[in-house]
Amino acid sequence: MGGPTIALVTGANKGIGYEIAAGLGALGWRIGVGARDRQRRDTAVAKLRAAGTDAFGVPLDVADDASVAAAAELVAEHAGGLDVLVNNAAITGGMPQTPSRVDPATVRVVVETNVIGVIRVTNAMLPMLRGSASPRVVNMSSSVGSLALQTTPDIDMGPVPAAYLASKTFLNAVTVQYAKELGDAGILVNSGCPGFTATDLNGFQGVRTPQQGAAIAIHLATLPDDGPTGGFFDDAGTVPW
């Protein structure tokens, strides 16, 4: 005990995930850089280390059982535990995704990554999180997954990406259920929305920088022990479900 806080960020090789890793690293935390591609992972780890972050690479494909199991073993061996898990990795599955035309195979792969991937990684890391003094799980969601916003007539949320949107709604439900189950264990589990951020995910159409997009995850990763759990937040506060 008494060592640095240890965090694992999935999809940390680029975009918002990279900036979450950098932001938590700047707090003096040891950061596991979860990424599936070896070269992209090594490049991100080298960049983080050059900036002073105590980063280590974690080979991780969130859609693959064996990869996730191996990642948990690596974190246990390399860091000896885990305090904070940021489930950031996600895909859109490509656009357009109008509900009447979306390929079921697209829905399947998006849910496999964005929802089942989160469950797979969280459950693999839970034994370590249970051993932490201040465990946190942050699920990177999106306001497009908010059914309340989607059904508010005056709010135009743009084209309807059926697979991606529903995956984030599903993820939010998963967040709530984990929070209920893990509350007694003191594990705070929340969903965060980064806002419309310029990354590969949207062809860099977003208006926020990845650093700005990372801020909500950093906030939720550093909540005090009496902080909220089972909530959905962005930089402005609570996002309606």
Ligand X SMILES: NC(=O)c1ccc[n+]([C@@H]2O[C@H](COP(=O)([O-])OP(=O)(O)OC[C@H]3O[C@@H](n4cnc5c(N)ncnc54)[C@H](OP(=O)(O)O)[C@@H]3O)[C@@H](O)[C@H]2O)c1
Start-to-end CA distance of the chain, whole Å, equals: 37
Smaller CB separation from ligand X, 1 or 236? 236
Q: Which of 9, 33, 68, 193 binds ligand X (CB under 6 A)?
A: 193
What Cα–Cα distance (Å) separates residue 142 from each residue in 191, 216, 227?
A: 8, 11, 21
Q: Which stretch binds ligand X (CB under 6 A): 78-86, 177-185, 198-206, 218-226?
A: 198-206
Q: Which of 164, 170, 178, 233 is catalytic?
A: 164
Q: Is 16 in the site for ligand X (CB under 6 A)?
A: yes
| Strand 232-234, strand 237-238: pairing | antiparallel
Smaller CB separation from ligand X, 39 or 100? 39
**Helix, strand, coil shares, percent, the chain, to 5:** 45, 15, 40
Q: Is 48 in the site for ligand X (CB under 6 A)?
A: no
Q: Is 14 in the site for ligand X (CB under 6 A)?
A: yes
CB atoms within 10 A of CB 120: 21
164: annotated active-site residue: yes
Q: Which two tokens stand for residue 224?
A: 């005090």
Burial class (CB within 10 angstroms; exposed 0-12, middle 13-18, buried 19+) of 240 = exposed
Question: Taking CB under 6 A as the rule, which mask of x and - marks residues 141-170 in contact with ligand X?
Answer: -x----------------------------
Strand order from edge to edge, sheet including 30-35: 54-59, 30-35, 6-10, 84-87, 136-140, 188-192, 232-234, 237-238
Nearest approach in angstroms of CB 19 to ligand X is 8
Question: Taking CB under 6 A as the rule, which mask of x and - marks residues 61-100 in contact with ligand X?
Answer: xxx------------------------xxxx---------
Burial class (CB within 10 angstroms; exposed 0-12, middle 13-18, buried 19+) of 26 = middle
Q: Which of 196, 227, 230, 235 binds ligand X (CB under 6 A)?
A: 196
Q: Is 119 in the site for ligand X (CB under 6 A)?
A: no
Query: What is the size of the binding site for ligand X (CB under 6 A)?
Result: 32
Query: What stretches of 60-200 show up as alpha helix (H) in DSSP?
Result: 65-79, 104-111, 117-130, 147-150, 162-182
Positions in the binding site for ligand X (CB under 6 A): 10-11, 13-17, 35-37, 40, 60-63, 88-91, 113, 117, 140, 142, 193-194, 196-197, 199-202, 206
- Catalytic positions, please? 164
